[in-house]
Structure 1
């Protein structure tokens, strides 16, 4: 596939993780023997990524100080300052000329045991502008559910559970993805999916069945820390 690049989105405010996120960005939250971004950068290096762009905002100086030039991961890291919120996909516009081959895009607040090399292999099989990494999430409904029409119930389910395939916030993209982005302004992953599906574009999916935690809340951070601790040498 040639030289892989990656973009890590670390410009979010992390308000759901307050009060921790008032002093540290989610990317630098401690996980295992490192931080969230440590794990991401190690996974990217293992997959053959050479260059990483990290989008930053108010916590930019802290992230720059911690990650440096990326040498300790065998990576070349550059930083892109996000002066205004641009959504999950909008920041890519500032890198149009630099992203000239396949590239990963990842949120900075995910903890996973995903092997990115497997995503690369799956992506190469399909000629698609994007591969979205998904995982299964269950939603428990704490109430009795009535299915009804015209004022008459026809089915009842007590506290049902539903399962959905959700985006992990990790993607592998081709430069052709820019055909679906406006040239400037905020743009989210939801808008990208609607634009691509509305155009009947090929959206490839890689389903990950292992560990994945979106570190958006304090309970999620604790769960990720517990799972990381179990993976340390000497732990069962």
Structure 2
């Protein structure tokens, strides 16, 4: 999807500025929203050309040339509905609007509509990001930009594309900056609430605050991951396995840079030159059943391995879902550089 700032404008924006948005957005249309965020029109290159021919000036407000009947569908629309309205009106882009008329998504020429998913997602964003210091001295790691876009905005955009709408964000270190940036999530087409950690509670401790709110499987993921994994497939895998928890697993391999000796007592029985070793590691993405929250105590520190161990000790099944898509854990400066390069490639 295109960045939201290039997708929409206001009726009073000049035609010149709307043209700049059209050029940068790449969707050949900019949607017009009123002061309440309600979609009131759309403007394309053709609308602007016709307006200029009719006497409008580049400094005139875009309301003077916009189409007052933009193509829209509700979030419950099927892909067939979207394709039909595109064919009928001879257009490439359709806006998705909620019951109040607010735009929550855009389906472009090669996009498919994302059916809204009720499954909640918890983003763990309370860490100090010490390995990225001094970058994280005055900015929380989720707000560190990849190019010109904060990392957490990219994560939220990808969640929205997959249909997730209910997001809980766990905050502690410089959490007020995250709250100021994201607000209630409306700008992202999401519903965002916050889990406030009075002190660092580990990678699972803040989840205790959801004990009375969660009544279905939910996703937990770190907010420093750049990944293309389809969480809908992970959810389906989790449900099919009947697990209490599912861990997103990623293969991690490394080469030992020396010849490795295998021996029996004092006798060498084999030599391996720079062997490659691999293991499955936790990718920082989990699906949990609500019963997992019963293992937690409010405001008590708990990391995710401890929570999972408690489930297994109680006889509960914990599964592993292998992730083969792009996955970068932005923990170190070199990882941040890799993530920035990957993000730039994805935008070309």
Number of residue pairs matched by the alignment:
233
| Residue 115 of structure 2 corresponds to residue 8 of structure 1 | no
* 2:178 match: 63
Residue equivalent to 2:145: 30
**In structure 2, what is the equivalent of residue 137 of structure 1?**
252
Report the counterpart of residue 42 of structure 1 in structure 2: 157
Q: Deviations over 1:153-194 (max 9, x none)?
A: 333222211111111101111101124445552111221233
Shift of 1:104: 1.0
1:33 positional shift: 5.2
**Secondary structure of 1:43 counterpart:** helix
TM normalised by structure 1 equals: 0.90
Structure 1: how far apart are the matches of 2:172 and 2:214? 21
In structure 2, the residue matched to 1:106 is 221
Q: Give unmatched runs, 5+ long, in structure 1.
A: none
Question: Contact 1:43 / 1:116 at 8 angstroms: preserved in 2?
Answer: no
Deviations 1:27-74 (A, max 9, x none): 111125522211221222233323211111131111011111111222
- Which residue in the other structure is 1:227 paired with? 342
**Larger % of strand: which?**
1
Cα distance in 1 between the residues matched to 2:240 and 2:204: 24
Q: After superposing the two structures, state which structure 1 stretch, 60-69 or 191-200, moved more.
A: 191-200
Gaps of 5+ in 2: 1-115
Write out aligned runs for 1:81-230 (5 A): 81-182=196-297, 185-230=300-345
- Consecutive aligned runs of 4 or more in structure 1 exceeding 4 Å deviation: none
Q: Compute the TM-score of the two structures, normalised by the length of structure 2.
A: 0.63
Q: 1:183 to 1:24 in 2, by over 3 A?
A: closer
